[in-house]
Structure 1
Amino acid sequence: MFCEGDKTYDHPGDCPVCGMDLVEQPSQQTTIYTCPMHPEIEQDEPGSCPKCGMDLVPKESESAEQKTYKKLLKKFKIAVAFTLPVFVIAMSGMLTNNPLYDVMDIAYWNWVQFALSLPVVFWATRMFFERAWRSVVTWNLNMFTLIGIGAGAAYVFSIIALLVPSVFPDQFKTDEGTVHLYFEATVVILTLVLLGQLLEAKAHSKTNGAIKELMKLAPNKATRIVNGEEEVIAIDKIAVGDVLKVKPGEKVPVDGSIEKGNVFIDESAITGEPVPVEKGNGDTVSAGTINGNTSFTMKAEKVGADTLLSQIIDMVNNASRSRAPIQKLADKIAAYFVPTVVGVSILTFFVWYFFGPQPVLVYGFVNAIAVLIIACPCALGLATPMSVMVGVGKGASNGVLIKNAEALEVLNTIDTLVIDKTGTITEGKPSVEKVVPVKGQEQDEVVKVIASLNNHSEHPLGKAIVAFAKEQKMNLDEVQDFESKTGKGVVGQVDDVAVGLGNVSLLEDVGLQIGSAMSTAIEKEQKDGKTVSIAYANKTIIGYVVITDAIKKTSKAAIKALQEKGIAVTMLTGDNKLTAAAVANTLQLTDYIAECLPEDKLKEVERLQQQGKKVAVAGDGINDAPALAKADVGIAMGTGTDVAIESAGLTLVKGDLQGIVKAITLGEKVMKNIKQNLFFALIYNTIGVPVAAGLLYPFFGILLSPMIAALAMSFSSVSVISNALRLRSTKL
């Protein structure tokens, strides 16, 4: 919760301020390899098992969060096993002819409840009382203070009533002469709180998911060439200057430069741009990017923490830890509510002791306990999570996945939205916008020729052309002598005719030139940020194809709706200036920055925040992850990378900007509902505490027994749950 600033601990435990479990900070660790058949065999590099000869595989290590979850799950199962019979025994007392009383008297059943409550209170949920005690000693009052005092008071009251019922006035006794006990209230409240901790521990396993996903991008092994021989080594064994071989489909292990080979590298992991980049001798490659279909050799230049991928990991880590969370309303209330209730309880005891009727000690104690019981935080604890739970479900049904309540709370306070272009505003994949034939040529024939030529091409632009032809259900011809001309285009033979598709350089190779009219038209398309390839057949230009990353149909309307809400929208993209300007012009965006690297996006978010802006960031790529983590709230496209999704507080399943409008509306509704719930959680207590203290006794002779106090507690819980369920009918 960032309670103590940028502070970390070297051992697990609880936060000394808020009492929450400390979460393990992710770090890059050496991969350990083990044999699937002989797990005792372990080593820090790939190889084969000395016993059975099988390939060693990376060992799956259990995280601290998983260990905590398993420990809490065990405690929860024990708590439920003992809580259910206590609850059944207590509730059976409401039956007119209770069959349990035919077995044995109520006094004995009370002892059974006490025995069954011991494992719940003193083992499964003991940590809550420890946290409550620590919060009182350090005076860092929090929700655990309320839980410890409320449940503890009910439990102590029940034990005293069980052991010495004679000290209580008759009005607190049942017809059988026993005092009404609260063992069931204690164990049910504690078990429900334990369930919340269990769900929290499960969520913690995803808290650092962004960094863990980033770590997965780097391969755990690489192929090194030594004296012409290939050897497989662990990635942390790579040294600067090593020559590495990267095979088709493999990830680049470290930063370096290509020594031999012409390849297409998918750099979307770093840049977020969907089109693979052509690389040749001397060009740089980065760790985590993916090789195409041709092997190449490279020289390692940056390894370990110096790689670009490692730097992005550090940025996400630092941004995640530097974001101060919103202080929960319930904790704010607790800071005043707890000492007030304790003070009223103590004051009640002394007022009855000095001014009350005999026996003064019993009246003082009973009424002081009634004050604490009616102030039990059951409804206060439910107020926020109930609304969040229903709100999250409502969001999910509308394509808005919410990671935490924090995101919802902050979302309706934002005044600036920073959005990525590729995959967020646009579709995120190249597609054919149009095919323009020259005069005398049929469009379908041009499409058929260029699609046939690219049918066996691995280039993303070629695949887009083939997909375009297949959408029109065209039958493609066979191609002979297919050849890819690096940096120029592709050529081949279709029906014994020499055909080609590429740029001006390719045309010059076969002695062709484009006319001024076509040149003007192509330049116009290029200024709009589109890619244009020119086609020829039999040494005659037959037309050109325009390929673009289309803007999503809903983007313009969504951006307009956000601007109408008073939210300033800024586009940041790694794409070139021409493309960025064209997209911004179409969407009527005045604020945009092109050619942004991950650190540029992060710096822009920090700059806006320093100006006092509440910033939301929407993106879909790994290059957006640092900005998503640093933003007041991050919004990821569900069609994007896992890293972006893990870095964000919200995910739009359909990758549709309209989801942001829905999310903001949902955030407003949920926060309003939480405030209403807090009112319901406290109104019964506010009214009941003075009555429990005995304020009405001098005038009407009315005392609020702990049983009535518990009933008021139940009413507040029912009100909170009912109000939260209203969110299900909210229209977004």
Structure 2
Amino acid sequence: MKNQEEHHHNHNHEDTMSHSDHKENHGDHHAHMIEDFKKRFWVSMVITLPIVVMAPMIQEILGYEFGFEGDRYIQFVLSTIVFFYGGWPFLKGLVDELKDKSPGMMTLIALAISVAYFYSSGVVFGLEGKIFFWELVSLIDIMLLGHWIEMKSVMGASNALQELAKMMPSEAHRIKKNGDIEDVNVRELRGDDLILVKPGEKIPADGEIKEGESHLNESMLTGESKPVAKKAGDEVIGGSINDNGSLKILVKHTGEDSYLSKVINMVKEAQKTNSKTQNLANRAAGWLFYIALSAGFVTFFVWYSLGKEFEYSLERMVTVMIISCPHALGLAVPLVVAISTAVSAKKGLLIRNRTAFENARLLSYIIFDKTGTLTKGAFGVTRFASTNEDYDKNEILKIAASLENNSEHPIAVGVLKKARELEMKLDEPNDFQNITGKGITGKLNGESISVVSPGYLKENQLTTPEGAFKDESETVIFILKDHTVLGYIALADEIREESQEAIETLKSHQIKVIMATGDNEKVAKTVSESLKLDGYHAEVLPEDKQKIIKELQDKGEFVAMTGDGVNDAPALAQANVGIAVGSGTDVAAETADIVLVNSNPKDIANLILFGTATYKKIMQNLFWAAGYNIIAVPLAAGVLAPIGIILSPAVGAVLMSLSTVIVAVNAQLLKKQMK
């Protein structure tokens, strides 16, 4: 990682943008390919209809007669259009696969359609034999449909880098030497520039505060759930959100040297290593290619050496090669993928990487981020008390909520939520003011009230009430009238109700559950003990999360990571299965293999069950598709010819259709299983 950082040290922020542009282009290219397959499918389908009507074999099967002089030439012309237009992606794929020395689905399809086309064309122009034009065009149609369905269901090529780059604001307020402020593009910022960041704005670059105090929300970058108080001399991270104070910041890192860009590089590296999983159906197709080729040539030589004429031996060979490419194999995976993707989406699981989804059955470890995943990522009131006999505890909460009513601070949101739950009628404050980094003050019913941090009590030599600090995972605020403490309210990032059930379900599947969080040791320990986790890592940086996963993978474990922040993006990409919680940042969702739309950890148990069911269905379908070959190929070759059984192309076509129907029906059964 270090070398990589040094290597990129001199690049500017434009590189980050170009990564995102590249990803965007990749997405456009993918969408264009889907449209291309769709168009080729419909055009080929329309041309197929007259070919099927004129096909002698179809007439034989359905018992009708339709022919005229020169009908073979019309079939030849129409089939030529379908072969070169509809079959083009497969012919091109054949060249690519043979260049890579890895024949697969494209090679198998191209072999079958080429043999069918050139043999049938030969028959039209004088060769003795049968024409296979309708098998040729129906095979192209089904394979185009299969690829179109497949590409649609896995669309959504990762936009992670684009989403990361989007986290940076596009403009910054740069302070000139004479004190004037100019708005410049973030790309123009250089080290040692002085910038102004107003309340509510994003920090445009890594740097150090020179003037001002504020709270920064870094939760989407570091995982720290509390807004962090920052003052002069403190470091800040580009992309974090400034809360309530104006800051003057000296820029330290820009472009490739920034924290965000380092995260981008980690995501890129992890994604590269993750995209090497091979498609199972493609491997099966690779084997079938060799089988088809061998079986075809063996069939020809056996029949020819047994004294059969050249034309008959060639027809047998062609029949074997066409039958060896099952329509069912082209649909076996895409149909299951399309159904499981649709059903899972209804259940709140968005599948972006189907290989990872199917591999969910292999999980041995799952790593949870804490903030916003196991916990709600929002402060909730855990307890509140009065320390003044003139006020009961509900009055303390009402006073604090009335004063906090004008604040957007996460602590204020937590206090107001509790007041609403208790249906309190709030008073209207006057003279509302921020005490930067320490709390708020104002007038309520003519009295001077403040809601402050423990630091404020210390600074003003006020005694901290007994029992205020019980749990180190809590944040405590104090309510003052003039300079008298009336009471306190304790808040904490609440654990989700669903987390306990989710963890129990995962453990029942023999999956170990650990937590990795940017939050402090005490908070992590409290959550871990409360949920009975198998372990936890606290105060971790993004590269640490990635490292934890890598170490487990090196030991042979199959690891899933669940998270919602930018800090989780590299780990989500590194994991065997990356699961993003939908309420988090777009970037976590874009880096993950699966997104939990409802942010419910319980859905992870469903994910494992669905993934297992999907994998089983794919295996069954591949078995049916291959099983058809095991029966049809020897029969087409004429293994049972001595006892008078030889597979005619017509029966081969029926068997081919039957295996396709079985595969389609079996895929539909997945809907019932996943209810």
TM-score by length of 1: 0.84
Identify if the C-alpha distance between structure 1 residues 189 and 279 changes in structure 2 by more than 3 Å, giving closer, same or farther.
farther
Give the Cα–Cα distance (whole angstroms) in 2 for the partners of residues 401 and 307 of structure 1: 31
Matched, 1:728 2:659: no
Deviates more, 1:64-73 or 1:539-548: 64-73
Residue 408 (structure 1) aligns with: 357
Q: Secondary structure at the match of 1:250?
A: coil
Matched, 1:365 2:311: no
Quote how far apart the aligned CAs of 1:413 are: 0.7
Deviates more, 1:436-445 or 1:622-631: 436-445
> Percent of counterpart pairs with the same letter?
35
Q: Which amino acid in the other structure matches residue 402 of structure 1?
A: I
Q: Which amino acid in the other structure matches residue 600 of structure 1?
A: D
Give the Cα–Cα distance (whole angstroms) in 2 for the partners of residues 137 and 597 of structure 1: 43
Give the Cα–Cα distance (whole angstroms) in 2 for the partners of residues 247 and 186 of structure 1: 67
User: 2:468 is matched with which residue: 522, 531, 539?
Assistant: 522
Matched, 1:66 2:28: yes
Q: Please show how residues 575-594 of structure 1 align to structure 2 within 5 Å.
A: 575-594=519-538
Q: Which amino acid in the other structure matches residue 230 of structure 2?
A: K
Deviates more, 1:410-419 or 1:497-506: 497-506
Q: Is contact 1:30-1:236 (8 Å) kept?
A: no
Q: Which amino acid in the other structure matches residue 28 of structure 1?
A: T
Give the Cα–Cα distance (whole angstroms) in 1 for the partners of residues 414 and 383 of structure 2: 12
Give the Cα–Cα distance (whole angstroms) in 2 for the partners of residues 674 and 203 of structure 1: 15
Q: Can you list the C-alpha shifts for 1:604-630, whole angstroms capped at 9, x where unaligned?
A: 111111111111111111111100100
Give the Cα–Cα distance (whole angstroms) in 1 for the partners of residues 79 and 451 of structure 2: 79
Deviates more, 1:258-267 or 1:665-674: 258-267
Residue 113 (structure 1) aligns with: 75
Q: Is contact 1:622-1:644 (8 Å) kept?
A: yes
User: 1:698 is matched with which residue: 638, 642, 667?
Assistant: 642
Q: Please show how residues 33-112 of structure 1 align to structure 2 within 5 Å.
A: 63-67=25-29, 69-70=31-32, 73-74=35-36, 76-91=38-53, 105-106=67-68, 108-112=70-74
Identify if the C-alpha distance between structure 1 residues 567 and 643 changes in structure 2 by more than 3 Å, giving closer, same or farther.
same
Residue 16 (structure 2) aligns with: 28
Q: Is contact 1:634-1:648 (8 Å) kept?
A: yes
Deviates more, 1:562-571 or 1:478-487: 478-487
Give the Cα–Cα distance (whole angstroms) in 1 for the partners of residues 445 and 380 of structure 2: 26
Deviates more, 1:250-259 or 1:567-576: 250-259
Q: Please show how residues 566-715 of structure 1 align to structure 2 within 5 Å.
A: 566-700=510-644, 702-715=645-658
Q: Secondary structure at the match of 2:518?
A: coil
Quote how far apart the aligned CAs of 1:278 are: 2.4
User: 2:122 is matched with which residue: 140, 155, 160?
Assistant: 160
Q: Secondary structure at the match of 2:299?
A: helix
Q: Which amino acid in the other structure matches residue 186 of structure 1?
A: L
Q: Can you list the C-alpha shifts for 1:3-40, whole angstroms capped at 9, x where unaligned?
A: xxxxxxxxxxxxxxxxxxxxxxx9624699xxxxxxxx
Identify if the C-alpha distance between structure 1 residues 91 and 645 changes in structure 2 by more than 3 Å, giving closer, same or farther.
farther
Residue 397 (structure 2) aligns with: 447
Q: Is contact 1:31-1:220 (8 Å) kept?
A: no
Count of paired positions: 658
Deviates more, 1:426-435 or 1:67-76: 67-76
Quote how far apart the aligned CAs of 1:721 are: 0.8
Give the Cα–Cα distance (whole angstroms) in 2 for the partners of residues 335 and 622 of structure 1: 40
Give the Cα–Cα distance (whole angstroms) in 2 for the partners of residues 368 and 266 of structure 1: 70
Q: Please show how residues 291-302 of structure 1 align to structure 2 within 5 Å.
A: 291-302=242-253
Q: Is contact 1:652-1:659 (8 Å) kept?
A: yes
Quote how far apart the aligned CAs of 1:238 are: 1.4
Matched, 1:428 2:348: no
Residue 145 (structure 1) aligns with: 107
Residue 22 (structure 1) aligns with: none
Identify if the C-alpha distance between structure 1 residues 395 and 499 changes in structure 2 by more than 3 Å, giving closer, same or farther.
same
Give the Cα–Cα distance (whole angstroms) in 1 for the partners of residues 287 and 277 of structure 2: 18
Identify if the C-alpha distance between structure 1 residues 66 and 200 changes in structure 2 by more than 3 Å, giving closer, same or farther.
farther
Quote how far apart the aligned CAs of 1:331 are: 2.9
Q: Please show how residues 145-544 of structure 1 align to structure 2 within 5 Å.
A: 145-164=107-126, 167-168=128-129, 179=130, 181-197=131-147, 206-226=156-176, 227-323=178-274, 325-357=276-308, 360-438=309-387, 440=389, 441-507=391-457, 512-515=462-465, 518=466, 521-526=467-472, 529-544=473-488
Unaligned runs of 5+ in 1: 1-25, 33-58, 169-178
Q: Which amino acid in the other structure matches residue 412 of structure 2?
A: G
Q: Secondary structure at the match of 2:405?
A: coil
Give the Cα–Cα distance (whole angstroms) in 1 for the partners of residues 69 and 660 of structure 2: 29
Identify if the C-alpha distance between structure 1 residues 124 and 95 changes in structure 2 by more than 3 Å, giving closer, same or farther.
closer
Identify if the C-alpha distance between structure 1 residues 403 and 535 changes in structure 2 by more than 3 Å, giving closer, same or farther.
same
User: 1:565 is matched with which residue: 490, 497, 509?
Assistant: 509
Q: Which amino acid in the other structure matches residue 566 of structure 2?
A: I
Identify if the C-alpha distance between structure 1 residues 553 and 154 changes in structure 2 by more than 3 Å, giving closer, same or farther.
same
Unaligned runs of 5+ in 2: 1-13
Identify if the C-alpha distance between structure 1 residues 76 and 600 changes in structure 2 by more than 3 Å, giving closer, same or farther.
same
Q: Is contact 2:512-2:534 (8 Å) kept?
A: no
Quote how far apart the aligned CAs of 1:322 are: 1.4
Structure 1 vs Structure 2 CA RMSD = 2.8
Q: Is contact 2:79-2:133 (8 Å) kept?
A: yes
Quote how far apart the aligned CAs of 1:253 are: 1.7
Quote how far apart the aligned CAs of 1:596 are: 0.9
Q: Can you list the C-alpha shifts for 1:274-293, whole angstroms capped at 9, x where unaligned?
A: 43322222222111122235
Q: Secondary structure at the match of 2:595?
A: strand
Q: Is contact 2:147-2:330 (8 Å) kept?
A: no
Q: Is contact 1:86-1:183 (8 Å) kept?
A: no
Quote how far apart the aligned CAs of 1:546 are: 1.5
Quote how far apart the aligned CAs of 1:297 are: 2.2
Identify if the C-alpha distance between structure 1 residues 139 and 298 changes in structure 2 by more than 3 Å, giving closer, same or farther.
closer
Q: Can you list the C-alpha shifts for 1:145-174, whole angstroms capped at 9, x where unaligned?
A: 111112222222332333336x13xxxxxx
Q: Secondary structure at the match of 1:428?
A: strand
Q: Is contact 1:254-1:286 (8 Å) kept?
A: yes
Residue 6 (structure 2) aligns with: none
Residue 17 (structure 1) aligns with: none
Structure in which a larger fraction of residues adopt helix = 2
Matched, 1:122 2:84: yes
Greater relative contact order (CA < 8 Å, ≥ 6 in sequence): 2
Q: Which amino acid in the other structure matches residue 640 of structure 1?
A: G
Q: Which amino acid in the other structure matches residue 671 of structure 1?
A: Y
Q: Which amino acid in the other structure matches residue 394 of structure 1?
A: V
